[in-house]
Structure 1
Amino acid sequence: MKYKILENPNCEDAYGLIEEALRKRATITIYACCKVNYEGRALSELNWGERIILIKPDGSFLIHQEKKVEPVNWQPPKSKTRGYIQDNNLILESHRRTPKELLTVEIRKVQYITYANIEDFEELEQAGYEKDMGDMIMEKPHMIEEGFKPTAREYSVEHGFIDILGKDCDNNLMILELKARKAGVSAVKQLKRYLTDFEDDDNDYLKECLVQKKKIRGLLVAPSLGEDAKELIEKEGIEFVAVNPPKELKRDKKVTLDAF
């Protein structure tokens, strides 16, 4: 990693380092006393304070305060950054074309500034989400119940996208709503809305998969249920199946003789 650091630089030196970093498409970190103005879909102003400014090679521009995870102001990738000196202060502007937005940072004192050419080619791998649950159920449908046959994923209906559709051993339609964490009332209500989308005998999916409309079952699949959700599923006639999302990353899986 190639990097350069300046502590307590004057305005001209800080500007020079930023220009060099932008030319080299480096990641820039600045600790400075600044104020911030934003013009675009709305207007905002942040008065003088000590903050962290982060500028990335993809055009991302973020301003962090000493608290909270999210930046207080930011511009997304593909924004264009430029700097200049005005009235003995360093000005940084981040322009976004569509929609038209301008984030302006006026800096009167830089405590610390650095840039680095970072090399990182890895993609984040995740596990333990609804998608992972869906993958697992599609591979091992018996974990829902014996005879369950999944037939579609992310099926579009009037009220959203159903996680998994399928049939049971008696050819009844099954609608699965997946939650990777404890399920609450909102999940039950969402599943109920999906069930209403299938009340019409003329439903396209029923024709498509030739399901005999004996019964339509709604199943909420999650590690556990909140107390309020338990009362509501009984009232609505919805079933619950306890399933924990997988917590294994794909890169952790090892090939064994069982795979052959």
Structure 2
Amino acid sequence: MKLRALENPSAEELESIISEGLSSEAIITIFARCRVYYDGRAKSELGEGDRVILIKPDGSFLIHQRNKREPVNWQPPGSSVFFEREKLRLVSVRRKPRETLEVELLKVYLATYFQAEDSEELTLIGSEAEMRDYIFDHPEVIEEGFKPLFREKPIKHGIVDIFGRDRDGNIVILELKRRRADLHAVSQLKRYVEDMREEYENVRGILVAPSLTSGAKKLLEKEGLEFRKVKPPKGERKKGKQKTLDSF
């Protein structure tokens, strides 16, 4: 059965849904009133409330509240999931490091499993990786004489998107944003430039993006940093995984 759903299931019916879903490598979704307990690198408790519980075939275990994009509790791929019928409790265990997430089910409104067939990967167009490649192939979009030397160079407080030199031999740090750059992007660039000034005398910081917020423009000018307007290229499509919000 590709899809199965039960409204207000009994403990036995819920056990059946979970067992069938796990054995068939399906996506299991449970709408329930529950309490959540986490024990691992720290400890936490989440009081009674209505939530959505999502169990994926790779072991991912997610608990969502009614607001916000991110789950309030979660376990990563590779975790093991089992159901204790007598206690009406779902348990997810991660072995290394040892972490346990327990969900006490007070009321189950709906339980489903869905055998999803999906082998496709997300197609990225105009990613920051493509921007890096484009600048290495066309360094003149930054300025004449600019020479890019390294991609994603690790430094003291992060990773520089592009590390290079200008025609006068000054160090140039490029921070790339594929979308409109904001104050956070400027602060990030400032931190990288300050790190590099501990090693080099003359360091320039350039923020590269399609556009800037007004606040970002003012802060750039205040900090003596620069801006180059460059849009992500729309060339060949590259496949990969969608990054999290923190990646941009």
Residue 10 (structure 1) aligned with residue 10 (structure 2): yes
State the alpha-carbon separation in 1 of the partners of residues 223 and 65 from structure 2. 46
1:188-218 CA-partner distances (Å, limit 9, x unpaired): 4224224404426xxxxxxxxxxxxxx6543
* SS of the residue 1:125 aligns to: strand
Equivalent residue letter for 1:4: R
Q: What 5-or-longer segments of structure 1 have no aligned partner? A: 201-214, 253-260
TM-score (norm: length of structure 1)? 0.78
* SS of the residue 1:138 aligns to: helix
State the alpha-carbon separation in 1 of the partners of residues 204 and 18 from structure 2. 61
Residue from 120, 139, 142 that aligns with 2:137? 139
Cα RMSD (Å) of the superposition? 2.7
Deviation at 1:140, TM superposition (A): 1.8
Count of residues in Structure 1 that have an aligned counterpart in Structure 2: 236
* SS of the residue 2:28 aligns to: strand
**Which residue does 1:25 correspond to in 2?**
25
State the alpha-carbon separation in 2 of the partners of residues 48 and 193 from structure 1. 47
Instruction: Trace 1:1-260 onto structure 2 (pairs within 5 A).
Output: 2-86=2-86, 89-180=87-178, 181-184=180-183, 185-199=186-200, 216-227=203-214, 229-230=216-217, 233-234=220-221, 237-246=224-233, 250=237
State the alpha-carbon separation in 2 of the partners of residues 179 and 125 from structure 1. 18
Equivalent residue letter for 2:181: K
Deviation at 1:163, TM superposition (A): 1.9
**Contact 1:162-1:194 at 8 Å conserved across structures:** no
**Contact 2:11-2:88 at 8 Å conserved across structures:** yes
* SS of the residue 1:12 aligns to: helix
Equivalent residue letter for 2:123: E
**Contact 2:171-2:203 at 8 Å conserved across structures:** yes
Runs of 4+ deviating beyond 6 Å? none
**Contact 2:39-2:100 at 8 Å conserved across structures:** yes
* SS of the residue 1:166 aligns to: strand
Structure 2 CA distance for partners of 1:57 and 1:192, relative to 1, 3 Å: same
Deviation at 1:148, TM superposition (A): 2.6
Deviation at 1:22, TM superposition (A): 1.2
Structure 2 CA distance for partners of 1:136 and 1:35, relative to 1, 3 Å: same
Identity of counterpart residues, as a percentage? 51
TM-score (norm: length of structure 2)? 0.81
Bigger CA radius of gyration: 1
State the alpha-carbon separation in 1 of the partners of residues 49 and 192 from structure 2. 47
**Contact 2:158-2:192 at 8 Å conserved across structures:** no
1:29-48 CA-partner distances (Å, limit 9, x unpaired): 11122222111122222222
Please say which of residues 15-24 and 238-247 is displaced more in the overlay.
238-247
Deviation at 1:55, TM superposition (A): 0.6
Structure 2 CA distance for partners of 1:3 and 1:187, relative to 1, 3 Å: same
